[in-house]
Amino acid sequence: MKAALFDLDGTLIDSDEAIVWCVNALLDELGRPPASRDEIVELIGVGLTPLLARFLPDPEVHVAEYHRLYLTGFATRTKILTGASELLSELRRRNIPAAIVTNRNRGLAVDILRGVGLFEYFDDVLGEGDGFPLKPDPAVVIAACTRLGVGPADAWYIGDTDIDVAAGLSAGCQTILVAGVRNTNQAAPDVVVRRLDELIEKLPADGG
């Protein structure tokens, strides 16, 4: 293993409440009725435009406003998941490069990482708007490996959804599932963990 690629929401951060709040704040601005928490949470991970398309007929028109709203309210509604900081710190200590590969808009992902204090741990961030199809298409995962200078077989891809598992396996990465509410047990990852610091013992000593 020579590099680690991470999904963002549900893998490194718990952003459910921030996303639920932001979707409903946007709907309220547009004079539309609120969506239920369950309706929104089940769509987390598919990408912003597909998520908004469930509630709005012209989702692309409202992406910029969603981003503006999100940045005004995500900080108090987002928390780093247990074990994430410990694993990221250990990757840095061992000089193992890391990247974010998310279906979120890349610019918003960077702002979130800065806001929660995790940006410094990553060598690259790839997301919606970078010209790649959204996961589960593996193209963005393969691109992240290329940009970190490793082959997919030498990289971990870590995520919390069936979408992540499909993308990681299709790319040829060792694929790790953070088990939780957004996976169905239909996927077959290489490794399953409950929290990210369980992976520290699996790290190579020198990144090689």
Active-site choice (7, 9, 16, 164)? 7
**Strands across the sheet with 174-178, in order?**
124-128, 98-105, 3-6, 155-159, 174-178, 191-193
The Cα 157–Cα 119 span in angstroms is 18
Cβ atoms of 8 and 104 within 8 Å: the answer is yes
Tokens of residue 81, six digits: 């998941």
The Cα 45–Cα 99 span in angstroms is 17
Amino acid at 31: G
Q: Quick one: how many helices (H) and strands (E) in the chain?
A: 8, 8
Listed residue (185, 194, 145, 146) closest to 168, CA to CA: 145
Q: 123 catalytic, yes or no?
A: no
Tokens of residue 41, six digits: 């949470």
The Cα 158–Cα 168 span in angstroms is 8
Indicate which residues carry an active-site annotation.
7
